[in-house]
Amino acid sequence: MRVRKWMALATVAYILYGLFIYSYLFLMGDSSVPESVKGTSADPHTFMTSHELVISENFSNIRNLLYFITIPLDWYVFFLLLISGFSRKIADWSLAAARFKFLSKLVYVFVLSLLTMIISLPIKWIGYQLSLHYGVSAQSTASWLKDQTLDFWIQYPLLALCAIVFFWLIQKRRKHWWLYAWCLTVPVTLFLFFIQPVVIDPLYNNFYPLKDQALEKKILTLADKAHIPADHVYEVNMSEKTNTMNAYVTGIGENKRIVLWDTTLQKLKDQEILFIMAHEMGHYVMKHVYIGLAGYLVLSLAGLFAIDRLYFYLYQKGAATFRLKVSHDIAALPLLLIIVSMLSFAASPFTNAVSRHQERAADEYAVNMTKDGEAGVTSFQKLAKSGLSQVNPPFLVKIFRYGHPTMMERIMDMEKAAEKEKTPKKQ
Specify burial of residue 120 (Cβ count, 10 A radius: 0-12, 13-18, 19+).
middle
Q: Any idea which residues carry the catalytic annotation?
A: 280, 363
- Range 215-243 burial, b when 16+ CB lie within 10 A, else e: bbebbbebbeebeeebeebbbbebeebbb
133 labeled part of a ligand binding site: no
At 186, phi and psi to the nearest 5? -60, -55
288 labeled part of a ligand binding site: no
Taking a C-beta distance cutoff of 8 angstroms, is the pair 105, 113 a contact?
no
Q: How far apart are CA 26 and CA 260, in angstroms?
A: 34
Taking a C-beta distance cutoff of 8 angstroms, is the pair 74, 121 a contact?
no
Q: Which is nearest to 59 in space by CA: 122, 129, 144, 124?
A: 129
Q: What stretches of 226-287 show up as alpha helix (H) in DSSP?
A: 262-267, 270-285
283 labeled part of a ligand binding site: yes
Q: How far apart are CA 177 and CA 198, in angstroms?
A: 32
Question: Collapsing DSSP states into helix, strand and coil, what is residue 257?
Answer: strand
What sign does the CA torsion over 240, 245, 251, 255 have?
Answer: positive
Which secondary-structure segment (H or E) carries 260? Answer: strand 257-261
For residue 260, the cross-strand partners are 235, 247
> How distant, in Å, are the alpha carbons of 74, 233, 257, 267, 286 from that of 244?
28, 19, 20, 9, 27
**Total residue length of the chain:** 427
Provide the annotated binding site for Zn(2+). 279, 283, 359
Provide the annotated binding site. 279, 283, 359
